[in-house]
Amino acid sequence: MKKINVSLVASFLIATNLYSQQTSSLDEITISSATKSEEKLKNVTANVDVITAEDIELRKFKTVAEALNTIPGIQVSPSGGIGQQTSVFLRGMNSDKTLVLIDGIRYNDITTPNGAANFEHLMINDIERIEVIKGAQSSIWGADASAGVINIITKSSQDGTHGNASFEYGRYDTKISKANISHKNENFDAKLGVVRVDTDGFSAKSPKSSEAKNYEDDGYENTTANLKLGYNFDENNRVSTSYEIIDTKVNFDSTPNDKISKANTLTHLANITYENRNDIALTKVYGNYTDIKRDSKSSFGTLNFRGKVKEYGLNTSIDYLNSSNVTIGADYKDFEDKEMNKDYDNKGIFISNTNKFFDDKTIFTQALRYDKYSDFENKTTGKIGIKQYIINELNISSNYGTGYNVPTIYQLNDITYGNRDLNPEKIKSYDLTVEYKGFSITYFKTKIENMINSNSNTWVYEQIEGTSKIKGTEIAYKNEVVEDTFLNLSYTNLSAKNDKDEYLARRAKNKFNFGVDYYGLKDFHFNINGEYIGTRYDKVNKQGASTGNYTIWNAVVDYDISKNFSTYLKLDNIFNKDYQIVDGYATSQRAAFVGLKASF
pLDDT-above-70 percentage for the chain? 95
Q: Looking at the DSSP assignment, which residues form a beta bridge with residue 76? A: 88
Give residue 26's pLDDT. 60
User: What does the angle CA 167 – CA 169 – CA 172 come to, to the nearest 5 degrees?
Assistant: 145
Task: Give the C-alpha distances (Å, rounded to integers) separating 464 from 269, 449, 455, 499.
Answer: 34, 8, 10, 8
Q: What is the DSSP letter of 157?
A: P
Residue (of 99, 115, 85, 109) closest to 422 by Cα position? 115
**Predicted confidence band of residue 18 (pLDDT cuts 50, 70, 90):** very low
Over 60: is that where the pLDDT of 333 sits? yes
Determine the average pLDDT of the residues in 94-109.
95
> Looking at the chain, how many residues does it have?
600
At residue 245, the pLDDT reads: 98
Q: Provide the mean pLDDT of the chain.
A: 92
pLDDT (average), residues 305-319: 96
pLDDT mean over 209-227: 95
Question: Is residue 293 predicted with pLDDT exceeding 50?
Answer: yes
Q: pLDDT band at 32, cuts 50/70/90?
A: confident
DSSP bridge pairs for 306: 293
- pLDDT mean over 253-258: 88
Strand ranges inside 233-300, DSSP E: 237-251, 262-277, 281-298
DSSP-assigned letter for residue 207: S
Would you call 526 exposed, middle or buried from its count of C-beta atoms within 10 A (0-12, 13-18, 19+)? middle
426 — pLDDT class (breaks 50, 70, 90)? very high
Q: Quick one: which of 489, 464, 494, 469 has its CA closest to 477?
A: 489
The set of long-range contacts for 174-179, using a CB threshold of 8 Å and a minimum separation of 24, is: 174/82, 174/198, 174/199, 174/200, 174/593, 175/199, 176/62, 176/123, 176/595, 178/125, 178/126
State how far the Cα of 204 lies from the Cα of 530, in Å rounded to an integer. 22
Across 49-59, average pLDDT: 94
For 111-160, the pLDDT digits (tens) are 898 999 999 999 999 999 999 999 999 999 998 899 999 999 999 999 99
According to DSSP, the residues that pair with 425 across neighbouring strands are 405
What's the pLDDT score for residue 568? Answer: 98
Q: How far apart are CA 579 and CA 194, in angstroms?
A: 33
d(CA 199, CA 175) in angstroms, rounded, equals 6
pLDDT at 175 over 90: yes
Among 2.60.40.10, 3.40.47.10, 2.30.40.10, 2.40.170.20, what is the CATH number of 2-599?
Answer: 2.40.170.20
For residues 351-380, give the mean pLDDT.
94
Residues of the chain with pLDDT > 90: what percent? 84
Q: Which helix (H) or strand (E) holds 67?
A: helix 64-68
- The arithmetic mean of pLDDT across residues 480-496, rounded, is 95
pLDDT at site 274: 98
Contacts for 331 with CB less than 8 Å, ≥ 6 apart: 142, 311, 312, 313, 314, 347, 348
Beta bridge partners of 461: 454
491 and 8 Cβ atoms separated by less than 8 Å: yes
